Amino acid sequence: MLIKNNDPAAPCPSEITGKDLYQGRRRFLRQAGALGGALWLGQAEANPAPAQLPPFKPGQPLPDEPLTSLDTLTSYGNFYEFGPNKDSPGRNAHTLKTRPWSVEVDGEVLKPRRFDLDELLRLAPLEERIYRLRCVEGWSAVVPWIGFPLAELIRRVQPTGNARYLEFWSLADPVQMPFVQYPTLDWPYREALRLDEAMHPLAILAVGLYGQVLPKPNGAPVRLVVPWKYGFKSGKSIVRIRFLEQQPRTSWMKAAPDEYGFYANVNPAVSHPRWSQAKERRLGEFFRRPTLPFNGYAAQVASLYAGMDLHRNY
């Protein structure tokens, strides 16, 4: 029997379940499933690590650019501490121990200190940020990170008047990271930003992905995400943030100074010495699409580089 409700005063279904919630129903189910799974696993495993993030504010999807799947994001990428191939981190990163974990913040700050991971997770309200990720090699993805603005952490340690740069140190433990014993890059992996870049609201410290704790191949438990720069600028598994007066030389600048500059802003007009950066291949797609200046974030970040020669400051 069909019950027709023609009462004009009756609420429309979309008033009961909001559009956002309705469209995010699969994610809601996934999160609920992950929570259930986490609770169940929590019983089974001796590891006291909570597999669940504190609540976070959902992010704004990119129009016409679907998310890259979690499976793709965890099985494809560069994390050279775990091996040279794209599938190395997915295969090898399980040896990473993400708890206990802390991040040492020192250098040109008034309040140098160590942040425990649990403290970082509650340092500021967590929010989802759906960002494009553009690798310097020419592939790209759309990633639903969860984190908080790096500026929140910077504010708490009070940089001195001398602080002009931030250097990010990734973990380099040969026991957990088998490839750190090979002298390929200058370990530990170090990356850096100018202070004003680091303070920009788009720059975040990510602690989660797809509503869950950051997976190990993606730089668990805490990593940098700077969406307008090539991926290698966003250090993974961060253990130290050092405030400096002078611009430091990063691991990649030491390895190949003519190929990897300090800024590494995504720029279709400036070629890598060995290939053009005009186009990129979105993971899962067959053909290439044009790369956008500053990876599509020019409106927000281009002013940081006003008056700079971006060909020289690559």
Partner 1 sequence: MNSARTPWTPGPTQLLLIKLLLIALCLLPLARLFGDLGPNPPEFVSRHTGTWTFNLLLLTLSVSPLRAWTGAHWLLRLRRSLGLLTFAYALLHFASFALFDHELAIQAIATDIVDRPFIAVGFAALLLMLPLALTSSNRAIALLGGRRWQELHRSIYLIGILAAIHYLWLAKITTYFYPLTYTLLLVLLLAWRVGARLKKASAPAPGFRGGSQPIKFFREKPDR
Tell me which residues touch partner 1 (CB under 8 A): 71-72, 75-76, 78, 80, 84-87, 139, 184-185, 255-256, 259, 271, 274-276, 281, 283-284, 286-288
Query: What does the alpha-carbon distance between residue 96 and residue 232 come to, in Å, rounded to a whole number?
Result: 19
Smaller CB separation from partner 1, 27 or 288: 288
Please give the structure tokens belonging to residue 309.
């020669």
Cα torsion for 229, 231, 236, 239, to the nearest 10°?
-30
Q: How far is CA 80 from the centre of its chain?
A: 16
Smaller CB separation from partner 1, 134 or 242: 134
Smaller CB separation from partner 1, 135 or 225: 135
In terms of Cα–Cα distance, which of 146, 157, 135, 117 is closest to 241? 157
- Closest approach, Cβ 227 to partner 1, in A, equals 20
Smaller CB separation from partner 1, 23 or 271: 271
Question: 115 with 123: CB under 8 angstroms?
Answer: yes
- Closest approach, Cβ 190 to partner 1, in A, equals 15
- Closest approach, Cβ 176 to partner 1, in A, equals 18
Question: 68 with 204: CB under 8 angstroms?
Answer: no
Q: How far is CA 170 from the centre of its chain?
A: 13
Q: How far is CA 247 from CA 148, 166, 270, 283, in A?
A: 25, 9, 22, 33
- Closest approach, Cβ 185 to partner 1, in A, equals 6
- Closest approach, Cβ 186 to partner 1, in A, equals 10
Smaller CB separation from partner 1, 278 or 310: 278
